[in-house]
Structure 1
Amino acid sequence: MKPLRPGDPAAIGGRVLLGRLGAGGMGVVYLARSAGGALVALKVIRAEYAADPAFRARFRRETEAAARLSGRWLVPVTAADPHVSAPWLATAYVPGLSLAEAVDGHGALPEDTVRVLGVRLAEALAGVHAEGLVHRDVKPGNVLLALDGPRLIDFGIARADGVTALTASDLVIGSPGFLAPEQAQARAGKVGPPSDVFSLGCVLAYAATGRLPFGAGTVAGALFRTVHEEPELDGAPPALLPLLRDCLTKVPEHRPGTAAVREALAYGQPDGPADGWLPVPLPGIIAERAAEVLALPDPVPAPPAAPAPAAPAAPSARRPSRRAVLGLGATVAVAAGGGLAAVRVAGSRGGAGGAVPRYTIGLHADLSGESSALGRAQERGARLAVARFNAAGDRPFTLELAVRDDRGEASRAARVADRLGADREVVAVLGPTGAGGIEAVAARYEKSLLPMVSVSSPAAELNDERLRQGGAVQLRADEDSASGFLQYLGSVERSEHTVLVDDRAATGDGDWGLAERIEQFPPAGGRVSSRPVPADSEDFGPVAEAVRASGAQAVVFVGASPRRAALCARALDRAGFDGVRMAPEPVLRPELPADGGRARLPFLAEAGDAAQGWVCVTTYADATRLPAARDFARDYAEAFPSPPALGPTAPFALETYDALLLVASALRRPADGGPERGSTVRRLRSARRKGLARPLGFDPGTGRFDPEPGIFLYRVDRGAAVFLGNLDEAEPPGNRKQG
């Protein structure tokens, strides 16, 4: 980015200009920030084009068509105005490195990187062509390299396929060296999707060799060689040569389509490698740029007519009546299965009797599938938070909740994400509550510029760069975090010999890192041994006998199945093992019967007395045992008498309550105009809140949520999972009061 020049406007279309990103034949591109805080690349068309009414008509038509584009590898058009004296369009800003910068500064890219680049650019162009558009300027400067893949930008000169050009017939539009022969000859009627494929071939050849396929030099020379000579492909990987030659053939009808390009490049994998697609040092450079963008100043808003009240810092500041919170003074709809299905506080006016804006937060949850107990608990926590916020008479806006059920199915979760992403009233999403297809879901929300705030999904399932700098915010520690086990076995009940009962093979959890971390850092400086359980066996007897014979002082069950953990508990009990027994969070996963009966913990039900004394490490608290959550627990019990009851059978209800109020605090700040998509993530990453379960905040250096305060312990006592508190508060069983 370069500084603004004298004569550059301070703002365009209500967006404050921050600097220049570049200038080209069609106009100047600025980096700008909207009043809601979203960063955009704003392109202003040059005066000589703006003076042509025919050009304005085409510009309006094209920007309307480009706004419909929604492919993951395309940068969406967010706004445009073809009617002002200097027409402009705005797209989401991607803080990446252009392909031109990458190759000019660091040389040709590896073959695997070129393949991923080609697969995803072909997919982007397929989306463009499906809308009846032709990009017409596919070149390295219009390809941005982001950590999760490339983005195709600049649709300012795209035009409808088959429509006669409204500009002069002898005008060459595009970039010499990357134009198709029909473009180089200004044969407007011949320009179509095959022209973009030719340009894509030029881009891939440039990325693979570090050189222009039709040479450098004058514009006229480049155009002549494009029309009359063969490309120079020396140095390109041999496996890519057939495809490059096919793309760069002079006859448009002989070029492959985008689907054929993808198939030829993908190694049989439609999207190629998911992560780590860029060679060093490019990821580091991109990360630095992203960090610089986060540090850019907010726009200076115009003075408001009257100061807007700040969002309430906490519900305890001035506690509204419980009648208002529970919806007794509101419109309430109850679902057939029981429980509060909708709470909307009567009236949408706040402040001093004036109208306040409405913001909708989506809740993406499994409400009827295998993890419905977890999803329903989070829905209830979210509804209580919305009711609490809306009950404040001086609230700066009104919240609404849009709930969508994915049934715990990956395919349905993708459709839910698309539906919420298409709803322009939604400014942020809580969820999904499960792990099914979460990376694909996160990508869909990121494409829609919609922040995804996950309370319970496993952090390990999400791309690390997406969590640090993308649109996903994860408000929990890793469920396989070893710190809870290491601290408990190293400081609370010291174990100098710990045995891992490794049951990962049975449930396909081979990548779970819990066992590896405990083996790498043995508790109390002692030793760790592992006893794997065959995937096809339910007999834990031999392992239990081996544990007892080894003289081990502690056992850690490494697995995700409550039922198999119960088999292990019973086998250890029969073998007479009386040492410390620990398990990770999935072992306490609750189950809600389909008939709406009482929620239960299968591990406790199936292990029976053998579960006594087991300690489980979780990332959620029991609100019924936290003094700070006393009012929340009372409101939950009165508003939702049907299962799941608050406690271990309703995990993450309190955490979701805290998360929604954290999002609310980021939506409106004093003296700004409210959020826009693309700005809420940045707002969230600078937000902090003293939640009822734990403090919520982000590390300013990494941009990631600080998880350490959110690790808790439960101990089974007389058939119940008893909350012991935060990990740092843990004491040996003999030091605790009973009951």
Structure 2
Amino acid sequence: MRALYAQDPGELGGHRLLARLGAGGMGVVYLARTADGTLVALKVIRAEYATDRAFRERFRREAWLAREFTCRWLVPVTAADAEAREPWLATAFVPGPSLAETVDGHGPLTPYAVTALGARLAEALTEVHEAGLVHRDVKPGNILLALDGPRLIDFGIAQSPGLTALTEPGAIVGTPGYLAPEQARTGGEAAPASDLFALGCVLAYAATGQRPFGFGDPAAVLYRTVHEEPDVPGLDGLPPPLRTAITGCLAKDPAGRPTAAELARSLRAADQEPGTATGPDHQTAPARQFTTAPDRPADWLPSAVLRLVADRSARALDPPPRQTGPAAPQEPTVVDAGRAPSRRRILAIGGSAVAVLAAAGTGTAILLTNHQETKQGGAAQNLPAHVIGFQGALTGDQKKVGLAQERGARLAVAAHNARKDTRFRLALTSYDDRGEAGRATDGARRLLAEPSLCAVIGPTTVAAARVAVPLYGEASTPVLPVSADYDALGLSSATERTLCVTTAPSRYRTTPVLAYLTWVRKVERTAVVQDQAAAGMAETARDLRETPPSEGTSTVHPVASGTDDFGPAVAAALAAHPEAIVYAGTSPTRAAACARALATAGFTGPRVTFESVMRPAFLEAAGEAAEGWVFGAPYSEPQSSDSKAAKAFTAAYRDRYGAPPARWAAEAYDAVGLIVASLDAHGGGAGITPGQVAERLFKLTYDGVAKPIRFTQDITHGLTPENTSFLYQVKDGKFRFLGRYDQVS
């Protein structure tokens, strides 16, 4: 749950908006309150989708059919407006987490809970199917867990079996991994049996934490769904009735699957048989009868989930206040701050205080230490040692980035070992994966074989991170990528349990741009030149159009990927009389073409773009036209910062490496600091496991050299993106650091 943005409406259709529950490519979901005080989840669809007649018809049908349902396991629609410019739909607010959040965050459910889940979802599908409809997207993310039972949501793609699909011809609607083989094979119309197959996948996942057809590339998952048998380790350990129900749903032949009504009856009957039901303690329990009585106790959910429901319910009653501008900087507090050294002491290290003790293994294993004395003036104590792994591109195309990160990590290790009050020492073990996926797997396995490994920093590139992060997740080892964009990884939540993202993902690339144009330049008319040669920038352009700076207006002007002539698009943009221009693209040379076209047209207002353009090639190709351009970036430049921490870090870096800190060095330094804080919070002893380090990482708030690091205190553990990005500007032919976006004036 997040605070409303300044541009969010205060009221919609008689509902008072209270907070944001989520946002995606289709629109925004708000927490809202009706006139009589009832809380609802209000989904608003982006206007561009509503211009599609087929989409608006689908939305109208969703609102209509959902109002007809009476089963308590289906979330009721309370109000809707399919004719509005931005159609919206309100449903009862369910404060519980999704099944995906629950299993990914707390592990599989008990067999008793899975039986309850299956019986109630089967009841829900029974009503859907008896109404002549098919849900078409039964999956863990569309199942919310309430105190009294599950709720099946999202009927946005539900349809009658005989109706024409409201999608593009040949499109397969559904989620790979839960899509029935007959749909994956032909993309044909869905049938009730398709929902039962998906439900079987859901129940297998809920009981074991595993998808029957695995994870990874969607095409590979679909191939396995069609051609291979389900592979679910742990399924044999379930009570026979539950196991039989799941395997029956997973039959390749739709005719071999039970109907929803048959499945509901069999699961209810299984619970009534003595000795077959299993309770929340995973032991055989007396038989219990599932009912839909309102006073049903909430003993089917794990206690951790019950606490999460209670917390979300409390937050819904006290939502965060609306943002009125850039979020004010918060002062994070390090856990056990009383034990932590001051930043000045961490950074005040001299070259004579450290010594390289070992060079071996997969890369360079370095233990940086100093000759410290006990309080009694005796010899240094024998302290436990923890190993931090570094996996990155130390050679190859990304060598500069990888070396900068390793140097930052080394400096942080040295700073920690130089502390007089440290309770443990650190060692750094590096592996050069060259930024290549082929070497990343070997690198992860070698680092995981290191004794006393507590965490890993890296990999440097997206390609390497995609294959390495799941391996660290399987080993319950925290991994902290510094420069690899989280949004580009495309990982499933099941492989991210120990992934600690400390850099703002690309989905937030517009944040510093909006802040600069709203609070520094205060423009009200913006034009976006969208480079269609750049993948992923269409959504960025759309976000800028729908959330323009200063709550003003924004126009978007595309440039085809097959042309280098930006003149027509620039002319069209300037015809709208903008006060600022944003280049939505990734190519430095194409951005330079845009800059030259603007210079030729005489435009001198704010010109803004993103970090991927901030390369020497832009300066060389744009020439004088590059002057004044502003860039949003996810990394700091400590040598240009006025903070004491940044100045001390810069001095220490210069002293050790003879040069100012390179890009991403400070971020790697802070990643080590976050790991140290976690170890300190656990007492620093030799028995601390990587899993314990990972668990504590997400509970910390850390005041780093580059930026404050804090995480959302929910099951996602995502980085709080506010105040984590920076601004640069071309001055005198060079990229100059302006500061953290919320601190630039």
Report the TM-score when normalising by structure 2: 0.57
2:540 pairs with 1:514:
yes
2:629 pairs with 1:614:
yes
Deviations 1:55-83 (A, max 9, x none): xxxxxxxxxxxxxxxxxx9xxxxxxxxxx
> Conserved in 1, the CA contact under 8 Å of 2:347 and 2:652?
no
Q: Distance in 1 between the 2:443 and 2:722 partners?
A: 31
Deviations 1:36-55 (A, max 9, x none): xxxxxxxxxxxxxxxxxxxx
Shift of 1:432: 2.3
Q: Secondary structure at the match of 2:391?
A: strand
Task: Quote the residue 2:647 is aligned against.
Answer: 630
> Conserved in 1, the CA contact under 8 Å of 2:459 and 2:484?
yes
Q: Distance in 2 between the 1:292 and 1:676 partners?
A: 29
Residues 286, 588 of structure 1: alpha-carbon distance in 2 compared, 3 angstrom cutoff: farther
Q: Distance in 1 between the 2:713 and 2:636 partners?
A: 26
Deviations 1:418-451 (A, max 9, x none): 4434545322122222222645543332211111
2:391 pairs with 1:364:
yes
Query: Which stretch shifts more, 559-568 or 419-428?
Result: 419-428
> Conserved in 1, the CA contact under 8 Å of 2:390 and 2:428?
yes
Could you tell me which of 652, 674, 684 is aligned with 1:662? 674
Amino acid at match of 1:530: V
Task: Quote the residue 1:711 is aligned against.
Answer: 725
Deviations 1:691-720 (A, max 9, x none): 122222223356332221212111110011
Task: Quote the residue 2:591 is aligned against.
Answer: 565
Q: Distance in 1 between the 2:500 and 2:421 partners?
A: 28
Q: Distance in 1 between the 2:429 and 2:311 partners?
A: 29
Amino acid at match of 2:619: L
> Conserved in 1, the CA contact under 8 Å of 2:455 and 2:477?
yes
Q: Distance in 1 between the 2:543 and 2:706 partners?
A: 27
> Conserved in 2, the CA contact under 8 Å of 1:467 and 1:473?
no
Q: Distance in 1 between the 2:430 and 2:107 partners?
A: 30
Shift of 1:349: 8.8
> Conserved in 2, the CA contact under 8 Å of 1:451 and 1:678?
yes
Task: Quote the residue 1:394 is aligned against.
Answer: 421
CA RMSD of aligned residues (A): 4.8
Q: Distance in 2 between the 1:426 and 1:294 partners?
A: 34
Residues 144, 347 of structure 1: alpha-carbon distance in 2 compared, 3 angstrom cutoff: farther
Q: Distance in 2 between the 1:635 and 1:175 partners?
A: 61
Residues 608, 177 of structure 1: alpha-carbon distance in 2 compared, 3 angstrom cutoff: same
> Conserved in 2, the CA contact under 8 Å of 1:368 and 1:405?
yes
Could you tell me which of 341, 344, 363 is aligned with 2:367? 344
Q: Distance in 1 between the 2:582 and 2:428 partners?
A: 40
Task: Quote the residue 2:483 is aligned against.
Answer: 456
Residues 294, 660 of structure 1: alpha-carbon distance in 2 compared, 3 angstrom cutoff: farther
Task: Quote the residue 1:275 is aligned against.
Answer: none
2:605 pairs with 1:579:
yes
Task: Quote the residue 1:94 is aligned against.
Answer: 107
Deviations 1:647-705 (A, max 9, x none): 6xx22211211121111110133657452132222211122222122222223356332
Deviations 1:128-147 (A, max 9, x none): xxxxxxxxxx9999853588
Q: Distance in 2 between the 1:342 and 1:713 partners?
A: 36
Q: Distance in 1 between the 2:632 and 2:726 partners?
A: 6
Could you tell me which of 689, 693, 707 is aligned with 1:676? 689
Shift of 1:206: 7.2
> Conserved in 1, the CA contact under 8 Å of 2:393 and 2:461?
yes
Task: Quote the residue 1:472 is aligned against.
Answer: 499
Q: Secondary structure at the match of 1:330?
A: coil
> Conserved in 1, the CA contact under 8 Å of 2:466 and 2:491?
no
Task: Quote the residue 1:239 is aligned against.
Answer: none
Task: Quote the residue 1:144 is aligned against.
Answer: 206
Report the TM-score when normalising by structure 1: 0.58
Q: Secondary structure at the match of 1:651?
A: coil
Residues 349, 463 of structure 1: alpha-carbon distance in 2 compared, 3 angstrom cutoff: farther
Q: Distance in 2 between the 1:558 and 1:146 partners?
A: 43
Residues 292, 422 of structure 1: alpha-carbon distance in 2 compared, 3 angstrom cutoff: farther
> Conserved in 2, the CA contact under 8 Å of 1:310 and 1:668?
no
2:575 pairs with 1:526:
no
Matches within 5 A, 1:254-403: 288=305, 291=308, 312-317=340-345, 321-324=349-352, 327=354, 329-331=355-357, 343-345=366-368, 353-403=380-430
Residues 553, 678 of structure 1: alpha-carbon distance in 2 compared, 3 angstrom cutoff: same
Task: Quote the residue 2:31 is aligned against.
Answer: none
Task: Quote the residue 1:405 is aligned against.
Answer: 432
Task: Quote the residue 1:124 is aligned against.
Answer: none
Amino acid at match of 1:536: G
Unaligned runs of 5+ in 1: 1-72, 74-91, 121-137, 159-173, 181-195, 223-283, 296-307, 335-339, 590-600, 732-739
Q: Secondary structure at the match of 1:484?
A: helix
- In terms of Rg, which structure is larger? 1
Q: Distance in 2 between the 1:359 and 1:685 partners?
A: 19
Matches within 5 A, 1:476-515: 476-479=503-506, 480-503=508-531, 505-510=532-537, 513-515=539-541
Amino acid at match of 1:663: I
Q: Distance in 1 between the 2:247 and 2:460 partners?
A: 41
Amino acid at match of 1:509: G
2:459 pairs with 1:429:
no
Q: Distance in 1 between the 2:594 and 2:302 partners?
A: 49
> Conserved in 2, the CA contact under 8 Å of 1:310 and 1:670?
no
Shift of 1:386: 0.8
Q: Distance in 2 between the 1:286 and 1:603 partners?
A: 55
Task: Quote the residue 1:602 is aligned against.
Answer: 617
Q: Distance in 1 between the 2:425 and 2:351 partners?
A: 18
Q: Distance in 2 between the 1:550 and 1:493 partners?
A: 18
Deviations 1:331-361 (A, max 9, x none): 5879xxxxx9664325799867332222111
Task: Quote the residue 1:546 is aligned against.
Answer: 572
Q: Secondary structure at the match of 2:206?
A: strand
Amino acid at match of 2:663: P
> Conserved in 2, the CA contact under 8 Å of 1:588 and 1:616?
yes
Say how many residue pairs are matched: 502
Q: Distance in 1 between the 2:177 and 2:447 partners?
A: 29
> Conserved in 1, the CA contact under 8 Å of 2:462 and 2:488?
yes
Matches within 5 A, 1:205-284: 210=263
> Conserved in 1, the CA contact under 8 Å of 2:369 and 2:418?
no
> Conserved in 2, the CA contact under 8 Å of 1:613 and 1:715?
yes
Amino acid at match of 2:482: V
Shift of 1:610: 1.5
Amino acid at match of 1:678: G
Q: Distance in 2 between the 1:207 and 1:699 partners?
A: 41
Residues 551, 634 of structure 1: alpha-carbon distance in 2 compared, 3 angstrom cutoff: same
Task: Quote the residue 1:85 is aligned against.
Answer: none
Shift of 1:614: 0.4
Query: Which stretch shifts more, 688-697 or 347-356?
Result: 347-356
Could you tell me which of 714, 718, 722 is aligned with 2:736? 722
Could you tell me which of 657, 663, 673 is aligned with 1:640? 657
> Conserved in 2, the CA contact under 8 Å of 1:139 and 1:178?
no
